[in-house]
């Protein structure tokens, strides 16, 4: 058997400890599958003496994670610190410069610096793998690099944030509004004390930028992702979605268009008949559409200690076998710098909800705003009558250009009969 692969773990939070547990618990299985032992040789975290519930005896401790990454007794560094800058970047860049393989679960770091780090890794002749950075335990990057490598990917989309999926699922099942369900999610540990990165779509956007780069051979372009969250989704919207035959999901979607690479993260109305509509709770799912394979969907736990550790260790096994490849499928120099497709050029259908004063002429004014922008209405729901009172009106449109839809909404917002900002959710034909 080959000499052991000596691993250093930078960060002993949830994912770091899960990785330690997996490497220790399945040591014999991993050695058989990797052809050599995977040995934790060193670790670094903020506090050495903290009780963590795992056996760290015999493991060298480093107060300085960046110094550990450069240690000559280390073969591979696992970076699970998090953050796009600072010590996480120093660890990964330093490890690569010192000729160490790197496995990272850090989607923010890779979304901002992935192309530069990939170029450095290729120049150094080492691996930079990051399966755990996207969709937790779902092996979507390996599927794109290997099992689906013969295909031109035409579209990729998915539920990439378990916190948002949990909130939207609970809203649908309980009938409660966003704020109440978010509070429960925080209490249960599904949402952070500051949930902004999740509920505002930033976490999903980091992951989508990486998925799109691997799927389309594009330079990672986080700045080119159109990002919206779910704060504006109400229980009323979820109720109307069900009536119309849809469910609301926060999706990340990417595809090549004549205008460039379209990358967008936002709430979507998805037909209830589609498989992804039934992915509930904290689960993630990713759908890949290829020119020869057709549609492939992978579903699983998108976060947590064990699923994410599973992805980290899978990358370590590939490195131990000597079967690693470019993290972005093609050499970094071959990644294309396509322009970001302007969101204003997006073509799609829309769900629109208004709160209006129930009086004659309101619907005619709304219809005129849509007509003047050549937006075709598909259906409308107006429940009951309450003359002079506020009532909800919901309509859906046929496919139209986003710019035209925005102009129509701006005009509708200015009507004195419209009592609050118009709520718009894009409808996706998946």
Among all residues, which ones are annotated catalytic? 207
Contact 143, 158 (CB under 8 A): no
Give dist(CA 371, CA 404) in Å, integer.
10
Residue 275 CB neighbours (<10 A): 13
Cross-strand bridge partners of residue 193: none
Residue 304 CA from chain centroid, whole number = 14
Backbone angles phi, psi at 326, to 5 degrees: -60, 135
Backbone angles phi, psi at 219, to 5 degrees: -60, 140
Strands 260-271 and 423-427: parallel
Contact 225, 208 (CB under 8 A): yes
Contact 108, 135 (CB under 8 A): no
Overall size of the chain counted in residues: 430
Give dist(CA 312, CA 223) in Å, integer.
26
């Amino acid at each position: 058997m080959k000499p052991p692969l000596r691993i250093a773990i930078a960060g002993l939070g949830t994912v770091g400890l899960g990785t330690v547990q997996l490497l220790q618990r399945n040591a014999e299985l991993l050695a058989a599958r990797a052809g050599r032992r995977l040995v934790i040789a060193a670790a670094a975290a903020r506090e050495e003496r903290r009780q963590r519930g795992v056996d760290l005896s015999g493991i060298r401790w480093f107060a300085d994670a960046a110094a550990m990454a450069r240690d000559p007794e280390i073969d591979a560094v696992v970076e699970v610190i998090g953050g796009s800058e600072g010590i996480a970047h120093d660890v990964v860049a330093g490890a690569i410069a010192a000729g160490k393989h790197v496995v990272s679960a850090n989607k923010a770091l890779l979304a901002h610096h992935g192309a530069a780090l990939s170029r450095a890794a290729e120049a150094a002749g080492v691996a930079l793998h990051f399966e755990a950075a996207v969709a937790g335990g779902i092996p979507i990057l390996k599927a794109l690099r290997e099992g689906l490598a013969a295909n031109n990917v035409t579209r990729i989309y998915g539920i990439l944030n378990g916190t948002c999926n949990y909130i939207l699922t609970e809203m649908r099942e309980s009938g409660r509004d966003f704020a109440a369900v978010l509070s429960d999610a925080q209490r249960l540990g599904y949402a952070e004390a500051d949930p902004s990165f999740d509920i505002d779509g930033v976490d999903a956007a980091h992951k989508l930028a990486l998925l799109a780069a691997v799927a389309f051979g594009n330079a990672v372009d986080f700045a080119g992702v159109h990002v919206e969250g779910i704060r504006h989704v109400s229980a009323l919207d979820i109720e109307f979605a069900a009536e119309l035959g849809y469910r609301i999901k926060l999706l990340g979607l990417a595809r090549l268009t004549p205008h460039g690479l379209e990358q967008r993260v936002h709430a979507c109305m998805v037909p209830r008949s589609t498989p992804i509509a039934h992915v509930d709770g904290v689960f993630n799912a990713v759908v890949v559409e290829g020119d020869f394979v057709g549609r492939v969907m992978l579903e699983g736990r998108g976060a947590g200690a064990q699923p994410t550790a599973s992805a980290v260790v899978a990358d370590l096994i590939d490195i131990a076998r000597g079967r690693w490849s470019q993290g972005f499928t093609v050499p970094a120099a071959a990644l294309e710098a396509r322009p970001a497709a302007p969101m204003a050029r997006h073509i799609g259908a829309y769900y629109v909800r208004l709160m209006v004063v129930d009086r004659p002429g309101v619907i005619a004014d709304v219809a005129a705003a849509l007509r003047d922008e050549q937006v075709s209405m598909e259906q409308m729901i107006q429940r009951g009558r309450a003359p002079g009172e506020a009532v909800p009106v919901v309509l859906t449109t046929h496919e139209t250009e986003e710019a035209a839809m925005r102009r129509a909404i701006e005009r509708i917002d200015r009507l004195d009969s419209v009592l609050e900002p118009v709520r718009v959710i894009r409808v996706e034909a998946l």
